[in-house]
Structure 1
Amino acid sequence: MYVAVKGGEAAIANAHRLLADRRRGDRSLPAISIEQIVAQLGLAVDRVMAEASLYDRGLAALAVRQARGDMIEAIFILRAYRTTLPRFGSSVPVDTAEMKIERRVSATYKDLPGGQLLGPTFDYTHRLLDPCLLTDEGVDAPAEKPPLEEPVMRVSDILSGEGLIEDDGVLPQDHVAGDLTREPLEFPLERDLRLQALARGDEGFLLSLAYSTQRGYGRTHPFVGEVRIGEVEVEFDLPELGFAVSLGRIQVTECQMINQFQGSAKSPPQFTRGYGLVFGQSERKAMAMSLVDRALRAEEFGEDIVAPAQDEEFVISHSDNVQATGFVEHLKLPHYVDFQAELDLVRRMRAEYEQKQKTGSGDLREAAE
C-alpha cells in the first residue's frame, strides 16, 4: 500500500460529488432525459452499444449520460454492467439477407436489384454549422420513406453467380463459436473470434488502420460492394421445443468490401471479401472493420505480411479501447514508490557520469602538461 494514499477517502467522495454536480450542469436548464439521448444522439448510443457488446439503447443512453458524453467511459461502464448479466446461450446466426433495409448503397453497381436506398446519411450534407438547429424552427417534417420489406439480392451474389468472387465459406455443423468475453485469446485466431474482436474494437483505431491500407500499407484495392443498415430478427433455439423462437429485431449495419486478388497456384483471379457487422447505425465502423478484416486475411491468400493492419496479434491486441484506456489512465494512479526508486537510480547514475567527466578532464590536463 502507498502510505501517501491513506486518508484519501474523503477527497475521493468529494470528487464524486463534484462530478455529479458537473454532470447535472446548470440547474436553470432541464435535465437531459434518457429518451432524449436515445432519440437525438442515436449514433453515439449505437457506438456505445457496439463497442460494449450489449444491445440495449436505454442502458447505452444511461451510460452516455453518466459519462457526460465521454464515449469510451460510457463503453467501459456498459461493458462492466454486461459482465453482471447471466448467459443463457447463443442465438441462431442472424440472416442478414432477410434484413428489413433502411439504407442500402453500393459503389460497384449503379443499377442494383432492389435499387439504391440512401436513408439517413451525412454523405450529401454540407459540413457547415446550421444555425437553424439552435432552435426547432429549422427542423422539417419527417420524410416518409418506408424500409424495403422484401429481401433483395446482394452485390456479392451477383458476382458469385459469375464465379468472380470467393465463396462465402461454410462452417462445419459441429462448429462452436468462440466467445472472447469468456475465454482468453490465443493467437492465431479463428476468423469468427477475430470478427468479434473487430466488432467491439475502437472505431478510431480501426479507422486509422483501414486508412493505412488504402495508403499502401497493405495489399488492398477495395470497393464498397454493399453497405446495408436495417433490422434483422434474432432467434433462440430451444431444444425442449425443437425449434427456434424469435426474441425480437435489432438494427445492424453490414458492409461487404470487395477486393481484387490476382490469384495463386491454388486459386484463380477473383475478388475477395472483407466483412463488417456492427450493432446499430455504425457505417464508418462497419466499413473500417471490413477493410481490416480483409487485410488480416493476408496469410490465408499467401500474401506477404508487411504492414501493421496485416498483423493479427498487433491489431487485435491493441483494438480494445477499454483495455487501452485502463492501461494508459492507470498512469494517473500513485506511482510514488516506483518513481522514488527511479529517481534515486538516476541521481546515482548522474553522479557517476559527472565523476567520470571530472576524471576524464583531469587526465586530459595531465596529458597536456
Structure 2
Amino acid sequence: MYVAVKGGEAAIDKAHKLLADRRRGDRAVPALTLDQIAEQLALGVDRVMAEGSLYDPQLAAMCVRQSRGDLIEAIFLLRAYRTTLPRFGYSLPVATDTMQIERRVSATYKDIPGGQLLGPTFDYTHRLIDPDMAGDEPVAQPARRLLDTAGSFPRVTDILNDEGLIEPDVASDKEPADLTRDPTSFPVDRDLRLQALARGDEGFLLSLAYSTQRGYGRTHPFVGEVRIGMVEVEVDVPELGFAVSIGSIRVTECQMVSQFKGQGEEGPRFTRGYGLVFGQSERKAMAVSLVDRALRADEFDEQRTAPAQDEEFVLAHCDNVEATGFVEHLKLPHYVDFQAELGLLRMLRGEKEDASQNKEAAE
C-alpha cells in the first residue's frame, strides 16, 4: 500500500509539471500577460468574477491564465482564494440609477428618459469570422467608454410604477442573509435566492430561463431595461458618521417586466424579475431575472409545475463549483466501491444461474 501511495505521488507531481508545460504552450509564442487577458478577454474575466463572487479583474485574469482558459476551473480558483480573505464590513446598496452608463436598452419603450444607448454589444454584428482577427488589429481611436452626462437615469420600470401598472419595488428593512457564511435551509427568502443566482452557472441559468419562455413556468417576459456601467461602492464608517466611497465596479442590471397578476384589492399589475451581476454580462443578468420571477411563484399563488419554479432544484444545482466537484470526483479512485459492486453483481448472477439449473433439473 505504501509503494502504491508513493507511486501515485510521483505520478501526480509529473502531471503537475506536464500541466505547467502545456499551459505555457509553444515558447516561440509570446506569453499572455494579465493585462492582455483582462483587457482583451474581458467578458471571460467578467464571468469569472461574477461566478467567483469576487470583483478583481487582475486576480480573475490570473485564474484564467492558470486554468488554461477553462472558465469553470478559473471560477473554482477564485472562489477558493476568496475564502482566505478577511471580512471587514458590508457595503451599502449600490445606486444603479446613478450609474455611469456604457450601455442601456429597453425593449418596452422606444423613447426613454435619458435615451437608449447601444454601447458595446454583439447584438447587431454578423456572426461571420472576421479575417482581421487572424493578425494584429490596427490601432483605432478609442471609443468613449461612459455616457458623458451627469445626474441619475430613472429605470424604465419607474414609468410603469408611477401609473401603478407594476408591483411596487419595496426595499426590505431585514438584514440580508449571507450565502457564503450561513447554511442554506429551504425555503429561502428572495435576497438569498438572488445571491445564489448571481454566482450560479450562466449556462445552467440560461437553460432554465429559456425553459420559462417555452411554457415551463411561462412568465411572458419583456426586457424593461438592461443597463451596464460603473457604480460606486460605499461603506458606512461609524467613526465618521457618513458613507465613504471605496471605489467603482462595473455591473450589469436587468429589470424584467413579466405577466400581470391581481392581488387582493389591487387591480392587475405587471410583475418583476431582477438580475444584477458583476461586469458586462447581460445574458446572465437576463437569465437571472427570468429565473428570479419563476421562483416567485408562491408570491403570486401560482402552481409550481416547472423546473425553473422549483426553488430547491434550482438553488441546489446552479453552483458550477459544487457541480464540478461532484461530477469530477468520479475520476478519482473508487476501486473498493467498484469491487464491492462487482462482487455483488457476480453473486446475483450466480444465484440466478443456480436457480435456472435447479429449475431445469426439476423439470
Bin the TM-score by the shorter chain: over 0.9
Structure 1 residues 100 and 145, CA, compared in 2 at 3 Å: closer, same or farther?
closer
Measure, in 2, the Cα distance between the counterparts of 1:304 and 1:211. Answer: 19
State the Cα distance separating 1:362 from its structure 2 match.
3.9
Measure, in 1, the Cα distance between the counterparts of 2:86 and 2:122. Answer: 38
**Deviations for 1:128-151, whole angstroms, at most 9, x for unmatched residues?**
111111112466443346425332
Measure, in 1, the Cα distance between the counterparts of 2:289 and 2:98. Answer: 20
1:66-215 to 2 correspondences below 5 Å:
66-137=66-137, 140-144=140-144, 146-150=146-150, 151-172=152-173, 175-215=174-214
> May I ask how many residue pairs the two structures share in their alignment?
362
Measure, in 2, the Cα distance between the counterparts of 1:100 and 1:207. Answer: 27
Measure, in 1, the Cα distance between the counterparts of 2:68 and 2:189. Answer: 37
Tell me which residue corresponds to 2:344: 345
Structure 1 residues 242 and 265, CA, compared in 2 at 3 Å: closer, same or farther?
closer
**Deviations for 1:42-75, whole angstroms, at most 9, x for unmatched residues?**
0000000000000000000000000000000000
Which letter does structure 2 place at the counterpart of 1:253?
A: T
Identity between Structure 1 and Structure 2 (%):
72
In the TM superposition, structure 1's runs of 4+ consecutive aligned residues that sit over 4 Å from their partners are 1-6, 137-140
**Deviations for 1:219-260, whole angstroms, at most 9, x for unmatched residues?**
300000000000000001011111111101100000000001
Match of 1:275, SS state, is: strand
Let me know the Cα RMSD of the aligned residues: 1.5
Measure, in 1, the Cα distance between the counterparts of 2:115 and 2:283. Answer: 21
Structure 2: tracts of 5 or more residues without a match:
none
1:38-77 to 2 correspondences below 5 Å:
38-77=38-77
Which letter does structure 1 place at the counterpart of 2:200?
A: G
Using the TM superposition, name which of 137-146 and 154-163 deviates more.
137-146
Measure, in 1, the Cα distance between the counterparts of 2:265 and 2:78. Answer: 46
Measure, in 1, the Cα distance between the counterparts of 2:262 and 2:186. Answer: 26
Structure 1 residues 94 and 2, CA, compared in 2 at 3 Å: closer, same or farther?
farther
Match of 2:7, SS state, is: coil
- Does structure 2 conserve the Cα–Cα contact (< 8 Å) formed by 1:104 and 1:226? yes
Measure, in 2, the Cα distance between the counterparts of 1:5 and 1:180. Answer: 37
Measure, in 1, the Cα distance between the counterparts of 2:275 and 2:265. Answer: 26
Structure 1 residues 147 and 185, CA, compared in 2 at 3 Å: closer, same or farther?
same
State the Cα distance separating 1:6 from its structure 2 match.
4.7
- Does structure 1 conserve the Cα–Cα contact (< 8 Å) formed by 2:261 and 2:300? no
State the Cα distance separating 1:177 from its structure 2 match.
1.4
TM (normalized to structure 1)? 0.95
Using the TM superposition, name which of 96-105 and 5-14 deviates more.
5-14
- Does structure 1 conserve the Cα–Cα contact (< 8 Å) formed by 2:261 and 2:271? no
- Does structure 1 conserve the Cα–Cα contact (< 8 Å) formed by 2:146 and 2:229? no
Which letter does structure 1 place at the counterpart of 2:21?
A: D
Measure, in 2, the Cα distance between the counterparts of 1:2 and 1:290. Answer: 53
